Amino acid sequence: MTDLRAGLRQLRSQWRANPRLRYGGMAIIGILGLQGLFMLSDQASQLTAAYTADTEMLARLEGLRKETWWPERANSTSEVLQAVVDRIPEVAGKGMAQAESQAWLTRLAADQKLEGPHVKVESTVDVDGYPDMWQVISRLDGTLPDHGHEAFLRALAEALPWVQVERIEIAEGNAPRVVVTFRSYYRKAALANGQQQPPADKQDAAPRNPDAADLAR
């Protein structure tokens, strides 16, 4: 304690006797004070910006709540969705779904002039969550004609939404070999009494849900 007191007395004496020390100390205190003010100012600016953004978002939401065109927009969206669904082919049975998939792939290979095409079609199964739909996993491989990449990819895009590409492999070169795995969707045709086709497990033994990996082998 004695040493501490002696040190404090010496520091006070130096503080009183040395003007430069006093000025330097006050300058340091001033700099620290300004830094603190700047930090508080930055935090205040961030809070103000966040509050302004929240207020603008609330105003936009309030404006949307008062709009009257939501039912019209909903009806328009439903019409677009129905138009997409109507593009999905309708089939009367699982065998027809496989036949449709086989025919489409054969036609695709012919239109794109694939050399040595090979088509493999798996069993037809239900689509989880969509009792009125079937799906078929299939694969097509062959050799593209010279510079036939663009036309082939365009044909795949035009098949959406009822045919989707699960996996595609295109080798290098001007006339590469291509291997494509597809997932094709079909609507179950309604029966004469307005009922949908019975589930797959009622028609025959339900096949397991195929996966794209099955066709890669």
pLDDT digits (tens, 9 = 90+) for 96-146: 999 999 999 999 999 999 999 999 999 899 999 889 999 999 999 999 999
Go through the chain and tell me how many residues it has.
217
Could you write out the three-class secondary structure of 54-102? HHHHHHHHHHHHHCCCHHHHHHHHHHHHHHHHHCCCEECCHHHHHHHHH
pLDDT in tens, 135-185: 999 999 999 999 888 999 999 998 888 899 999 999 988 889 999 999 999
Asked if 140 and 198 touch (Cβ cutoff 8 Å), the reply is no
Residues 111 and 10 in one domain: no
Task: Looking at the structure, tell me whether residues 55 and 107 fall in a common domain.
Answer: no
Are residues 131 and 197 part of one domain? yes
Does residue 82 form part of some domain? no
Question: Do residues 94 and 184 both lie within one domain?
Answer: yes
pLDDT in tens, 55-110: 888 877 777 666 666 667 767 777 776 777 777 889 999 999 999 999 999 999 99
Residues 176 and 97 in one domain: yes
pTM of the model: 0.54
Question: Do residues 144 and 183 both lie within one domain?
Answer: yes
Question: What burial class does residue 56 get, using C-beta atoms within 10 Å of its C-beta: 0-12 exposed, 13-18 middle, 19+ buried?
Answer: exposed
What is the predicted pLDDT for the residue at 67? 66
Same domain? For 126 and 192 the reply is: yes
Query: Which structural domain range is residue 13 located in?
Result: 2-62
pLDDT digits (tens, 9 = 90+) for 7-26: 667 766 766 677 776 677 77
* 189-199 residues labelled b (16+ CB within 10 A) or e (exposed): eeeeeeeebee
Res. 29: pLDDT tops 60:
yes
For residue 55, what pLDDT is reported? Answer: 81
For residue 182, the domain's CATH number is: 3.30.70.60
pLDDT on residue 70: 64
What is the structure's pLDDT at 214?
53
CB-count exposure of residue 180 (10 Å: 0-12, 13-18, 19+): buried
